[in-house]
Structure 1
Amino acid sequence: MYYCELCGTFFDKPHIRTYQDPTVDPRAEFQEVVCPVCLEPHIEEAAFCPACDQPMPVGPVLCESCRMSLKRRVTEFFDTLTAEEEQQFDAWMEGSSITERRAFP
Structure 2
Amino acid sequence: MILVCQRLLKNTKISGITLFPFILLQKPENLQNEILINHEKIHLRQQAELLVIFFYLWYVIEYYYWFFRLKNSFLAYKSISFEREAYAMEDDLNYLETRKIWSFWKYKI
The TM-score with structure 2 as length reference comes to: 0.28
The TM-score with structure 1 as length reference comes to: 0.29
In our comparison, the structure showing a higher alpha carbon Rg is 1
More relative contact order, 1 or 2 (CA 8 Å, 6+ apart) = 2
Q: Greater helix percent: which structure?
A: 2
